[in-house]
Amino acid sequence: MRYTDNGTTPRTAGVRTADRLAVNGGIPIRSPERTWPTWPIPAPDAPRLLESVLTSGRWAITSPSGAALFERRFARMFAEYTGVRHCVPVDHGSSALVIALESLRLAPGDVVLVPALTWVACASAVLRAGLVPVLVDVDPQTGCVSPEHLDLAVGAKALLAVHWACAMADIPALLDVCTPRGITVVEDAAQAHGAEWQGRPAGSFGHVGCFSMQHSKVLTGGEGGAVVTDDGELAALLQELRADSRRYASADAAPQGLELEESATIMGANLCMNEFSAAVLCAQLGALDEQHKIRNDNYDVLARLIEDIPGVRMLRRHPAQTKASVYEAALVFDELPVGMTNADVAEALAAELHTRFYPPREPLARSPLLQPWTKPSLAPLTERFVAEHRGRRYPNAEYLASHAVLTHHSTFLGVEEDMRHIADAVDKVVRSAR
Ligand SMILES: Cc1ncc(COP(=O)(O)O)c(C=O)c1O
């Protein structure tokens, strides 16, 4: 068997000559020699900016030195990118969530609604902020939390509205329901840098917007995070919460070149972003929109190809979402091939294509990563957490967790032909079971 010039197995009258799945010893759809884009891709300016940090004598916001801080430069750049006035960089997306929740100044043990289908940090950050996460189901089309799934009877004081995979939650609709009921909407845009809803950037709708810049994200500095807001007073509070009660000093108040002054209106912790990550992020942000364009064009190509395959669909975005930020693409197998789970399908696709496909994680209600009872200091919160979750069900989250297959956004950073390979592999896996 030889691969065609474009690296796939040849077709004869629409039927492939090698239809046995690669996972069962058949010939893969795509030649193993054809590689996929790797991630992360260093932006052209990243080495120069990193080198300048190395030699600047200033590796952290707390270093007393005259070199201009990349941390502040990134804060300005990212605020502009998200269309808000203020950005407070932090060391991780999880820290962004913790300080955003702390900044609400809720009472200990207050309830925060969290979608059941997301990364564990969304719930653990709530606990770290002294609050109780109550999990709610998600919309079956977008995988995001939506107004009809909110529990309005539990007395929640906040909602963590997560944009999931490549779809945005309908924040305007969530605000309409939450605001009159005194529920503050915190937007978790950790997976949605640069996504837009009717032309407005993700992260700019809620009371505050939170981002992660961890390695796998579309904008990464290795580790990192940020909180964005239009509210100047809130930004000052967030600065203290992430720098041991210190905020940026005004130019005349800066003691001996220190960037931070001890304003101390609220107790904080050290959750500051380091200068290496900040420098890399300044460079990477410059490349982000070009990468979005490639990914989004390829995503649209794949979505069109998948439409022709019965029983499979791509995760659907709300029509008001005017720009996607593809963090993970979700193929939903409404008709799973007979005898296969979505994990089997993911394994089969990975074997055909030689890149990662994987099922979503289980809903948080049964995640082994969410076990507050293993931490004695969380005991008072755990009691309510356990009591609130007895008998709760998350059918839509469970459905997506058992029918979707995900792939990382780097899969979309190549050429259109890659999308045809994916569609051919999906088609082959679906047909293999008929
Ligand atoms: C939706 C969401 N929120 C928060 C986080 C936490 O970010 P970090 O890993 O940077 O702490 C992640 C990370 O994957 C995430 O996907």
Q: Report the DSSP pairing between strands 196-197 and 321-323.
A: antiparallel
Could you tell me which of 419, 393, 199 has the C-alpha nearest to residue 314?
A: 419
d(CA 330, CA 403): 10
Could you tell me which of 191, 213, 190, 189 has the C-alpha nearest to residue 202?
A: 189
The CA radius of gyration of the chain, in Å to the nearest whole number, is: 23
Quick one: pLDDT at residue 373?
Answer: 97
In three-state secondary structure terms, 15 is strand
Residue 199: Cβ-neighbour burial (10 angstroms; 0-12, 13-18, 19+): exposed
Give tens-digit pLDDT for 218-228. 999 999 999 99
Give tens-digit pLDDT for 34-63. 999 999 999 999 999 999 999 999 999 998
Quick one: pLDDT at residue 14?
Answer: 44
Quick one: pLDDT at residue 17?
Answer: 44
Q: Report the DSSP pairing between strands 111-115 and 158-162.
A: parallel
Q: How close is the Cα of 121 to the center of ligand 1, in Å? A: 6
**Does residue 88 surpass a pLDDT of 60?**
yes
* Closest residue CA from atom 14 of ligand 1: 119
Give tens-digit pLDDT for 249-280. 986 655 566 889 999 999 999 999 999 999 99
Give tens-digit pLDDT for 226-256. 999 999 999 999 999 999 999 999 866 555 6
Q: Could you tell me the pLDDT band of residue 18, with boundaries at 50, 70 and 90? A: low
Q: Report the DSSP pairing between strands 200-201 and 196-197.
A: antiparallel
Residues in the chain, overall count? 434
Quick one: pLDDT at residue 354?
Answer: 97
Those residues whose C-beta lies under 8 Å from the C-beta of residue 387, and which sit 6 or more positions away, are none
Residue in the block written with tokens 């982000």 = 288
Give tens-digit pLDDT for 348-368. 999 999 999 999 999 999 999
Hey, which residues does 115 pair with through a beta bridge? 136
Report the 10 Å Cβ neighbour count for 294. Answer: 15
On whether the CB atoms of residues 413 and 291 are closer than 8 A, the answer is yes
The set of protein residues with a Cβ atom below 6 angstroms from ligand 1 is 92-94, 97, 118-119, 121-122, 162, 188, 190-191, 212, 214, 225
Across the range 331-335, mean pLDDT stands at 97
Ligand 1 pocket test, candidate residues 124, 214, 219, 358, most atoms within 8 A of CB = 214
* Closest residue CA from atom 2 of ligand 1: 190
d(CA 30, CA 8): 5
Q: How close is the Cα of 119 to the center of ligand 1, in Å? A: 6
**Does residue 66 surpass a pLDDT of 90?**
no
C-alpha torsion angle, residues 336, 342, 343, 345 (rounded to 10): 50
Across the range 85-100, mean pLDDT stands at 98
Those residues whose C-beta lies under 8 Å from the C-beta of residue 14, and which sit 6 or more positions away, are none
Token pair, residue 270, equals 């050290």
* Closest residue CA from atom 10 of ligand 1: 93
Catalytic residues: 217
Proportion of the chain above pLDDT 70, given as a percent: 94
Q: Which atom of ligand 1 is nearest to the CA of 94?
A: 11
Ligand 1 pocket test, candidate residues 212, 227, 364, 409, most atoms within 8 A of CB = 212
Hey, which residues does 161 pair with through a beta bridge? 187
Q: How close is the Cα of 98 to the center of ligand 1, in Å? A: 11
d(CA 166, CA 163): 7
Q: Which atom of ligand 1 is nearest to the CA of 214?
A: 10
Distance, first Cα to last Cα, the chain:
24
- Which is higher by pLDDT, 8 or 340? 340
**Does residue 6 surpass a pLDDT of 60?**
no
Quick one: pLDDT at residue 250?
Answer: 80
* Closest residue CA from atom 7 of ligand 1: 93
Give tens-digit pLDDT for 412-429. 999 999 999 999 999 999
Query: Running DSSP on this structure, what letter comes out for residue 413?
Result: S
Give tens-digit pLDDT for 375-415. 999 999 999 999 999 999 999 999 999 999 999 999 999 99
d(CA 107, CA 130): 8
Q: Could you tell me the pLDDT band of residue 10, with boundaries at 50, 70 and 90? A: low
When mean pLDDT is compared over 2-11, 65-74, 106-115, the highest value belongs to 106-115
Q: How close is the Cα of 46 to the center of ligand 1, in Å? A: 23
**Where is average pLDDT lowest: 12-26, 286-300, 349-363?**
12-26
**Does residue 297 surpass a pLDDT of 70?**
yes
Give tens-digit pLDDT for 138-189. 999 999 999 999 999 999 999 999 999 999 999 999 999 999 999 999 999 9
On whether the CB atoms of residues 345 and 312 are closer than 8 A, the answer is no
* Residue 143 amino acid letter: G
On whether the CB atoms of residues 166 and 326 are closer than 8 A, the answer is yes
Domains and CATH numbers, the chain: 46-284 (3.40.640.10)
Q: Which atom of ligand 1 is nearest to the CA of 212?
A: 10
Q: How close is the Cα of 175 to the center of ligand 1, in Å? A: 22
Report the 10 Å Cβ neighbour count for 59. Answer: 14
d(CA 258, CA 251): 10
Listed in sequence order, the DSSP H helices in 222-359 are 232-242, 275-307, 342-353
C-alpha torsion angle, residues 335, 340, 344, 346 (rounded to 10): -10
Q: Which atom of ligand 1 is nearest to the CA of 216?
A: 14
d(CA 313, CA 304): 10
Crossing angle of helices 416-432 and 275-307, in 10° steps, is 60
Hey, which residues does 404 pair with through a beta bridge? 332
**Does residue 135 surpass a pLDDT of 80?**
yes
